[in-house]
Structure 1
Amino acid sequence: MARAFIGIGSNIEPAENVWAAIRSIALQTRLIGVSMVYCTDVLGRPEQPSYYNCVVEIETEAPPAEVKYGLLRAIENNLGRKRTEEKYAPRTIDLDLIVYGDLAMDAEGIRLPDSEILERPFLAIPLFELAPDLVLAGYGLRIDEVAARLSQDGMKPLKDYVKLLREEASHGFVFNFSGTCHSPSA
């Protein structure tokens, strides 16, 4: 079994779509943990609605390509993700395999660990919450050191949302949660 981490983000109906993505992941693999969910400003796109971002931890026997293309892309498609040439377009859901055990790779359209962990606090900080002793394979960097270097400005923890989400996860996702996210800079 490999211990893997998935970055989750949404800025189109984010409360519903993050919830649905986590539920789908839990139904198809072994969900180990859910980080704090943060409401974050959109990088370089102030006109766009804020994102919900978090990281989940799973255990899986599936290889990385199967996780990315078989599990995560299927969930994105089911939740209405439309891929366009605009890399930073709003999206219903964005699911990224960011760490897979102690594997370092750059092949099959997969880069592990995801290099964006080093510069994106909405990846590094939730990853640190779930795995504070993690060393990023191929980089030799400890996640606690990476997270400590990054600013949390523009990140608002959604504690009530996460409390409900974790309660639902422990009960098999019985009901849906709807919430709102206001820009942390507002």
Structure 2
Amino acid sequence: MAKIFISLGSNIEPESHLKAALIDLGHHFDKLELSSVYESEAVGFDGTNFLNMVVAAETNMTIEQVVSCFKQIEQDHGRVKGAKKFAPRTLDIDLLLYDDVVSQQPIELPRAEILYNAFVLWPLAEIAPHLHHPVVKQSYQSLWHDYDKQQQSLWPIEFDWSA
């Protein structure tokens, strides 16, 4: 089984979309581990704040199958295929890590935004503090410790998981 790390984000009805995404992910992947939920300002465009989190899971799927599954879940929850990259969204699901795979195809792994987006790095460091980035060879805890926290506004929030 491969250990994967998944970034989830939403700024359109984010509470309901994160909950729905986690239910769907639970149908496809084993042993989900959840970070806290973080609120952050939109990055790259003016928009309402996002809710973000990172999920660890296990899978027997290939990278291509995982990415296809994520795209289907996004579309099932109103994400428009081919929509602008920097725009409000119901759901954004990205594969951050697939074991220690380093690749450019079929997707870039590890995902570059791990190193420059606080809304990815902080929750990843929370659930995998001692895991090492397969390229820069530093722990996520160390990377978060050294991150310029003035760069992006981000704060943990209480999140009501009840349906």
* TM norm. shorter chain > 0.5: yes
Answer whether contact 2:11 2:89 (CA < 8 A) is retained. yes
- Whichever residue aligns with residue 62 of structure 1, its letter is M
Helix, strand or coil at the partner of 1:111 = coil
Aligned match of 1:139: 136
Q: Which runs of 5+ in 1 are unaligned?
A: 169-175, 177-186
For residues 49-98 of structure 1, the C-alpha deviation after alignment (integer angstroms, 9 at most, x for no partner) is 100000001000111111011x1011001001013452101100000000
Contact 1:25 1:31 (8 Å CA) reproduced: no
Measure how far apart 1:38 and its partner are: 0.6
1:116 aligned to 2:113? yes
Q: Which residue of 2 aligns with 1:67?
A: 66
- Structure 1 counterpart of 2:54: 55
TM-score of the aligned structures, taking structure 2 as reference length: 0.92
CA distance in 2, matches of 1:31, 1:20: 17
Q: How does 1:65-104 map to 2 (within 5 A)?
A: 65-69=64-68, 71-84=69-82, 86-104=84-102
Which TM-score applies when normalising by structure 1?
Answer: 0.81
Give distance in 2, aligned partners of 1:53 and 1:5: 13
Separation in 1 of the partners of 2:87 and 2:123? 23
Instruction: Give the structure 2 partner of residue 183 of structure 1.
Output: none
RMSD (Å), alpha carbons: 1.5
1:181: which partner in 2? none
1:128 aligns with 2:125: yes
Kindly report structure 1 stretches of 4+ aligned residues shifted beyond 3 Å: none
Amino acid in the other structure paired with 1:93? L
Matched length? 161
- 1:133-160 Cα offsets, whole Å, 9 max, x none, are 111112322211211122175212122x
Contact 1:54 1:122 (8 Å CA) reproduced: yes
User: Residues 1-12 of structure 1: matches in 2 within 5 Å?
Assistant: 1-12=1-12
1:125 maps to amino acid: W
Quick one: which amino acid aligns to residue 20 of structure 2? A
Q: Deviations over 1:148-180 (max 9, x none)?
A: 122175212122x1xx42xx5xxxxxxx2xxxx
Do the aligned partners of 1:9 and 1:18 also contact (CA within 8 Å) in 2?
yes
Letter in 1 for 2:13: E
